[in-house]
Amino acid sequence: AGDDRLVKVWNTLTGEAIVTMKGHSGEVHSVSFSPDGRSIASASGDKTMRVWDVASGEILSEKKKSHSVRSLVFSPDSKRLASIASSVDNDKDGVVSLYDTAGRTLGDLKGHRGRVTGVAFSPTGRWLASTGVDSTVRVWDVSSRQELLTLKGHSGPVTCVAICSDHRRGARPGCLVASASEDKTVRVWKLEEGSLVAGSTATASSETDQTTSEKPVSAPAGPRKPVVTLSGHDAAISSVSFHPDGRRLASASDDNSVKIWDVSAG
């Protein structure tokens, strides 16, 4: 993806492009592989989102937007997409939009004050986390589109978010959410099973936190702090990603460094 308006699939062993997808009339801002590996979604400055067949390079669907899309991600079942706007000067500022892969609108998640900067689905696809320039991480129920939890604690805009299942030894079932910020820190939060019900909005912070659930089976649990706050970068952090085992975390910063963190002891 890039200024040439093309989407390319590369062989990581040979470095050769094996499929080139043509059709966008503007810069391609973001691409996302579907978890089943069959499709690629792309977002462009031409105000369209497209879903492509990986094998043939053909367009499967196209969604025309009133605004440019900054980023988009597939749900774990490869059936839905979540997108965020790239501009701060339109009515989609502060909104996460949901679609199916045929381009049909499923609804919007509204709550952030100012631009949304990142979005990630939970491993089951039931919940979604979003980050914003309002310095918050918000957790949503995808089906009802209700905000379940607001995580507060960062002292600057939150730039991105990642979620993975919690595979740490002895950990209770649930997910880990990593949020990175311009405050130069990464905070790791635990979303624990049985601690949040849809329709019950809670607020959490680094001082007084509450956990959330992949299974809405009980009332919010008692207060707790983030699992860990990772400090060490000298500038804003722009990207964060979990290792599949959930015990390590990579962060990339404007200080020109990438750091690998051990979160297993948190």
Are 198 and 259 in a shared domain? yes
Last residue in a domain, options 110, 141, 170: 110
User: Helix, strand, or coil here: 123?
Assistant: coil
pTM of the model: 0.84
Cβ-in-10-Å burial (0-12, 13-18, 19+) of 76 comes to middle
User: Helix, strand, or coil here: 3?
Assistant: coil
Are 79 and 210 in a shared domain? no
Are 63 and 171 in a shared domain? no
Are 134 and 68 in a shared domain? no
Nearest to 123 by CA among 162, 153, 94, 151: 162
Residues making up the chain, counted from first to last: 266
Q: Which residues pair with 82 in a beta bridge?
A: 73, 98
Last residue in a domain, options 43, 77, 110: 110
Domain containing 17 equals 1-110
The CATH number of the domain where 14 resides is what?
Answer: 2.130.10.10
Among 58-72, 100-114, 132-146, 162-176, the minimum mean pLDDT is found in 162-176
The pLDDT tens digits for 151-193 are: 988 999 999 999 998 877 777 778 889 999 999 999 999 887 6
Nearest to 177 by CA among 194, 163, 167, 166: 163
Are 155 and 84 in a shared domain? no
Residue type, 37: G
Question: How many folded domains does the chain comprise?
Answer: 2
Are 137 and 236 in a shared domain? yes
Q: What is the pLDDT of residue 89?
A: 52
Are 89 and 200 in a shared domain? no
Are 3 and 46 in a shared domain? yes
| Rounded CA separation 121/133 (Å) | 19
The pLDDT tens digits for 53-97 are: 999 999 999 998 877 888 899 999 999 999 998 665 555 568 899
Report the first-to-last Cα separation within the chain, whole angstroms: 37
